[in-house]
Chains A and B, each alone.
Chain A
Amino acid sequence: MREAKIPVPEGRLATTVDEVVAAVEAIGPSAVKAQVLVGGRGKAGGIRFAETRQEAETVGRAILGMDLKGYRVERVYVEQKLAVEAEYYLSVTVDRSARKPLIMASAKGGIEIEDVAEGDLVRRHVDLSFGLPTYLCQEIAAEMGLVGDEAKQVATIIGRLYEVFRHTDAELVEINPLVRCGGRIIAADARLNIDDSALFRQGDLPAVEEGTALEKKVHAIGLAYVELDGDVAIMANGAGMSMATLDAVQHFGGAPANFLDAGGGASVEPTAQAIEVLLEMKPKVILINIFGGITRCDDVAKAITQVKTSRGIPVPLVVRLAGTNEQAGIEILQAQGIQAYRDMDQAAREAVRLSQGGA
């Protein structure tokens, strides 16, 4: 924001209680904000205020190291406390339906955007090829109900925020709240979501990845993975098939432990890697659901065999193989004493039965 010349409060990062104290002494009355990748941190106790040395110490101790919605707070941002006169909302995001960037603004800021009434929201699309003209920024500020110098400042910030959106390949850039403070408009808090697919050309942005330890590890080997809290570990090929497999397990009363897409055409090695991920979760049952299109059933069977012989599979394994090289895959598994199912519903039902203690 600062680089884009959007006014922000004075502030600095701190990782220890001593640094928090030093920052508060330098800045004056401050807000101490937990640096974690979750929304709603204020409500969860992740933002507190400090004015004196004593308060800085207390607040620093309380926030640093705390658990905030499952994330440990390692860093805080100590920021000048603003005498807020008004709170606004501003964002640029991608409108999936219109297939265009969308600017949203409201004079009712400071709350989550979902809670802003539709009538209080100003929406304008932007043509990427033509860019954002100045008049449109002014029109948005006027429709927010702003006048005079305040409208002018907000219009300028809208233009700059759109530049941030473009230059950082953002999916969302949001200032909430945008505040008025002694006649000046300041971005008091902001959020920036970068498009993962554009990271290759966003080299100077600090990389922060969301997710649990296992999620990060699996993403690092290039697989799509989401950890859930059930006991049936699931692998399928393709995003849609993987989602449908979770749905099927739930349909029969089971609890999926994860989402794992082994890829639409994964060969032996990546598939074996994916199976090892499932084992790490220590599930009650493993369900592998493959419809071979580009993926070959015999490759999947070979991967299963490889994992079984190299490290063993200590939990019940239910496999469904259909499509390309189905018969070859079934035979490879048979040699390992594993019976493959042809139909997805039967395999899902069996996996759920085993997870509930069925022998």
Chain B
Amino acid sequence: MSERAPALELFRLQKTYPSPKGPAVIVKDFSLNLKRGEFVTLIGHSGCGKSTVLSMVAGLTSVTDGGIILEGRESTGPGPDRGIVFQSPCLLPWMSVFDNVMLGVEQVYFTASKTERRELAEYYLSVVGLGDAMKKSPGELSQGMRQRVGIARAFALQPKMLLLDEPFGMLDALTKIELQQVLLDLWRRNRLTTLMVTHDVNEAIYLSDRVVMMTNGPEATLGEILEIDFPRPRKREMVLNDPLFTAYRDHLVSYLTERSHQRNEPKTYTKENLLTFTSDPVAKDHTAAA
């Protein structure tokens, strides 16, 4: 297939749940294309439906209307061609770390020899820094280590794309920074098309090529798109100290605080036409207090 076709195409996705007061529309008319090897982050207020979109792409939530096309094929159910890292690592506690990764590897590489499969699982576990902990059970690991296993498990499937559902949401600040690095290192080697959900603005800017802002629910949809123009590989200090980073963050925060309830034609912003707060949020707080 051609290099220019999108790796993932979301076409007018809609999710409706039946409720006592009639159908509740969570997500409506959500359309987005991801280029091959692109890292896109969905950001929005909690409960806006960003996780629902991710879950629909994963095939774990049924699609009420619209379509998902992954690498030119309509995707209708879950499958190992999409590696998922959940917010909680979802490791099976009765299996060793190694067996948790092997469970997926055996499913995907059923034609490979036993040695090849073992090597693959071992490779990904050592890349995420768990070379010495493979025989341990998940219960013996810290939250951060468990999430490393979750990342290794997703990459070891060598999927067509990666889905990350607030993967660092439950970690402390330092562990979060460490794991963002682990993720970026792995991602650079594989260049997997990635769709991530987060509510951490800094994380979104640091990791993504594009940040997609969602409007508030119900009937949440695409609000704005922000293209992040930092060269890769990115260095954390460089990105954080760049004045552009602050400008990106102002744009995102001002969207979340001031524009996320509006419904306009989705517009793409780049570093040339960034928006910022219509009024100084600090000054506004002062007047509110007074």
Do A and B share a complex? no
* Residues of A near any B CB (own CB < 8 A): none
**Interfacial residues, chain B to chain A (CB-CB below 8 A):** none
